[in-house]
Structure 1
Amino acid sequence: MTSWIVKIGKTTPQHWVIARDDGFWDVREPGPFRDIAPGEDVFFWLSGTGFRSWVRATSSLYMIGPSASPAHWTDDHNQYSHRFEFELVSEDVTRPATWGEMQVAAGRNYAPPAPANPVNEPATSAFVKSLFGNQADITFTTIPVAYQIGEDMRERAERQIALRRGQARFRNSLIDAYRGRCAVTDSAVISVLEAAHIDRYFGTHTNRVANGLLLRSDIHALFDLGLITVSSHLTVQLAPWLRDSEYGNFHDKPLTVPLHPAYRPDSDALRRHRKGCEWYHQ
């Protein structure tokens, strides 16, 4: 898999902070950016300084349309035509590295930093990753099943919760879109609200707000098991054997949806979820 080094201009160092908070990077010309794919590592390089951050692309490059989320660039917004989205992995640079050091580590000469430099050598990518320390919770991709003697169970639990909640930016985006309340129960206890995928999680590119619901943890489990779904009229539907349970009051309840139309649940994704619930069609 290709990694990428994306250059931030020396005169606009604030662009990284803006991009980090927005969750995307806008470009004026597609150029080499057009080959960036979901799941690929992207390292931002600040001219005159060195590596600034490590992110993982969650989308391919696409044209910025009129309904796209506004960026917060301090220069002319109209100059940007394309965008790719990302999740933060780390901005904890443990030591600076020069472009020359990277060339030595890679065993090859890289051209001076361009707007986007593809990196196809695993050794180069490994060297750049080694420059970073603490990583965000999206890096907890594997959790040991068996207990290991001496393992810190509190840390294990925290990692499991982080993994269950999904990637931090996706969950935070859903919390913002749903105004901090479960879409089914209206619970506002943030610590038990989770980022649920409507279409199953197949990588970070499925982390779109319209492909998510903010759900209380028990409702999330029932939704994933296909025991709760959402009708085409956006009402909550329960499997028949749940309707006499403590969850019965939620049957036929209107789903709480975001105010912004672009963030409302994707109707095709909901249809696919209903299709997977055999009881719904009986």
Structure 2
Amino acid sequence: MTSWIVKISGKTPQHWDFARDDQFWDVRDAGSFRRIEPGDDIFFWLTGKRIFLSWVRATSSLYAIGDNARRAHWVDVDTGGYTHRFEFELVSEDVAHPAAWNELQAAAGRKYSPQAPANPVNEPKAQQFLRTRFGHHGDIAFPNIPVTYKLGDDMRERARRQITVRRGQSRFRADLMDAYAGTCAVTGSTVTSVLEAAHIDRYFGDHTNHVANGLLLRSDIHTLFDLGVLTVSSSLTIQLAPWLQDSEYGDYHDQPLRLPSEPHKRPASDALERHRHNCQWL
């Protein structure tokens, strides 16, 4: 897979905010963007400030914007001339280790053009360098809603897109939905719209998107699990932090975890052990 550095003009940094909600990026000149393929990692670089903003993964190739295409939420005056689009899913916005352009070039052993709209990155060391710039990244994300809002704007479509991001990457979630027969492993809820793909070990790349490293959880249970106040014992019973046992969640304490019928799809015991180890109250 090729990785990409895609430039965002320092004059319009808000374009990232809207692209994150839209989950696509529009370009005026197809150029080298034509080579973007689904699965490619894309790193957005803000010119002027010379910083990385985000890491996303392409979910489509570049395609021409048709007359009936969904309109982007650009807010600059010059909105014309966009001809092509690629779609993506968010991986991370947590830039834990900022990098200068020359550091990237040193890692790659070659030069990149900071002025080019898109730079392909094929060198494995450079690709790894880009990924390690980012800290937490996973299926659950809570993107910020841009503050720009006009009275009467319909926010429902944007909310639906953000819910999709929170639920988790589509393939991983679909695999968990199948494994758990569309049922929350803790509550037994079968309301599809609130079921999310939860990683047991935190997300560190596609190799962690395995059913045995996941649980299908109702959204509020997913939050408790990620916060480490709900976990699973070695005997596969649900364990709650003491201060939750007298709450509305108390009925789930010591109850058995619902498991997939196929043994190889059940949660990995070593991953659950690592999750328990991080629960300091246990």
Give the TM-score of the pair, scaled to structure 2. Answer: 0.53
Partner of 1:54: 37
Partner of 2:250: 248
Partner of 2:162: 160
1:127-147 per-position Cα deviation (integer Å, ceiling 9, x unaligned): xxx9974636x2486634542
Give the TM-score of the pair, scaled to structure 1. Answer: 0.53
Q: What secondary structure, in the 3-state scheme, does the structure 1 residue paired with 2:37 have?
A: strand
Partner of 2:24: none
Unaligned runs of 5+ in 2: 5-33, 42-56, 66-81, 94-142
Counterpart amino acid of residue 39 in structure 2: R
- Contact 1:184–1:215, Cα closer than 8 Å, also in 2: yes
Partner of 2:229: 227
Structure 2 distance, partners of 1:168, 1:132, is 24
- Contact 1:238–1:248, Cα closer than 8 Å, also in 2: yes
Structure 2 distance, partners of 1:148, 1:247, is 37
Map residues 1-282 of structure 1 onto 2, 5 A cutoff: 2-3=2-3, 54-56=37-39, 89-90=59-60, 93-94=63-64, 133=85, 135=87, 138-139=89-90, 143-150=143-150, 152-280=154-282
Q: What secondary structure, in the 3-state scheme, does the structure 2 residue paired with 1:54 have?
A: coil
Structure 2 distance, partners of 1:173, 1:267, is 19
Structure 2 distance, partners of 1:205, 1:196, is 15
Alignment length, in residue pairs?
A: 171
Cα 1:184/1:3, change in 2 over 3 Å? same
- Contact 1:91–1:132, Cα closer than 8 Å, also in 2: no
1:207 shift after superposition: 1.4
Unaligned runs of 5+ in 1: 5-50, 59-86, 96-129
- Contact 1:141–1:163, Cα closer than 8 Å, also in 2: no
Counterpart amino acid of residue 147 in structure 1: V
1:179 shift after superposition: 0.3
1:160 shift after superposition: 1.9
Partner of 1:45: none
CA RMSD of aligned residues (A): 3.1
